[in-house]
Structure 1
């Protein structure tokens, strides 16, 4: 029976050439496909959001509940419900919705254009730049939604105070403070919910996309160093 030498076995094992399971080209191809898929997911999510809110708005237009709910809320401040007030608010509300749809639609188109520009056959540096541009567009989309909410809240607040002035209604200091505090809390809460929604829905995908981007940059650096 031959002698079993553990040291010789370890030496032989260490001297064996270890071939990498995947080369840089294989890893690059996988990362490219994954990144493009992540971009596609964000594109479809934004399309679903646009269609959902469009359908929801059409539904409320036929029921006219949004206008009635807002008028009922400001009636508690002493505002009188008149046909002129309803018509004026309806026009303002439809204008704000149109602006919101246009901006959301603009970003849906931008997402699609960015998706089409991402070329899997492009050189690594160009592909990385395409991914960075897409991530920047997503960040702008999230920021635009938050700014729209703040802007619309400000416009509606001005509309309320203008209505109070037209109807010669003066709010007492406790009522005024309570009203402004309520608007501030509601706005901050809404901004927080929007941020949380995008953090969860878009954040998960963007985190994976960012991880892919880091790996792509590492491959580029290792390639440049060779």
Structure 2
């Protein structure tokens, strides 16, 4: 009976090629499907945000009670809330509101475009390019959302100063200091909330998309 050599058996077993559970094409298809789903999730979230902004705008349009924070601040600083001031405020508010809805609608359309292109894309390098472009679109949407908030606050603040100047009102230094500090703190807190919201809602999905992108790049580097 031949002697059993355990070391030789281990060496032979280790040298045997390991069969891949999935080949690169199957992995590519799975990553493609996952990436499409992640893009679809962000698309539907953006649709929900667009509908929310639209409903809020319609609600404000049919609201009869006046409850405008900036106009109330204007009165506390000593200015009169005249019909001219109210009309100017409403015009500015509606222009900015429409601009916000247009910007959101534009990104909803861009997300849908990205979803459709990734859905039909089968080429590996093309899929990588689509995902990178989608990430840039998401980052632009977050940045523009924050910039819009800062722009809105700045425009309304300028409107208050203009109204005070046009009525020759000089508020007390203490009241003006409280107003300026309040605007800065409120804006900073609002920006932080928006950033946290997008970080939580979009960030979780984007982190998973990043993992897909990393795997796709690894497959691409193996093919080169």
TM-score normalised to structure 1 length: 0.91
What residue in structure 2 maps to residue 148 of structure 1? 148
Alignment partner of 2:141: what SS? helix
What residue in structure 1 maps to residue 74 of structure 2? 74
Q: Which runs of 5+ in 2 are unaligned?
A: none
What residue in structure 1 maps to residue 48 of structure 2? 48
Per the TM alignment, residue 54 of structure 1 is displaced from its structure 2 partner at its CA by 0.8
**Rounded Cα–Cα distance in structure 2 between residues aligned with 1:86 and 1:134:** 41
What residue in structure 1 maps to residue 100 of structure 2? 100
Q: How many residues align?
A: 224
* 1:66 to 1:186, Cα distance in 2 relative to 1, 3 A: farther
Which string of whole-angstrom CA distances, capped at 9 and with x for unpartnered residues, describes residues 141-196 of structure 1? 11111111111111101100011112211022222222111111111111111111
What residue in structure 1 maps to residue 199 of structure 2? 199
Q: Which runs of 5+ in 1 are unaligned?
A: none
CA contact (8 A) 1:60 1:66 kept: no
**Rounded Cα–Cα distance in structure 1 between residues aligned with 2:66 and 2:112:** 32
What residue in structure 2 maps to residue 88 of structure 1? 88
What residue in structure 2 maps to residue 131 of structure 1? 131
Per the TM alignment, residue 11 of structure 1 is displaced from its structure 2 partner at its CA by 4.1
**Rounded Cα–Cα distance in structure 2 between residues aligned with 1:112 and 1:209:** 16
Alignment partner of 1:54: what SS? helix
Which string of whole-angstrom CA distances, capped at 9 and with x for unpartnered residues, describes residues 200-221 of structure 1? 1101111111111011011000
Alignment partner of 2:68: what SS? helix
**Rounded Cα–Cα distance in structure 1 between residues aligned with 2:14 and 2:158:** 76
What residue in structure 1 maps to residue 164 of structure 2? 164
CA RMSD of aligned residues (A): 2.0
Which string of whole-angstrom CA distances, capped at 9 and with x for unpartnered residues, describes residues 27-80 of structure 1? 111111101110111101000100011112211221155753432232211122
Deviates more, 1:65-74 or 1:32-41: 65-74
**Rounded Cα–Cα distance in structure 2 between residues aligned with 1:150 and 1:115:** 30
Per the TM alignment, residue 5 of structure 1 is displaced from its structure 2 partner at its CA by 6.6
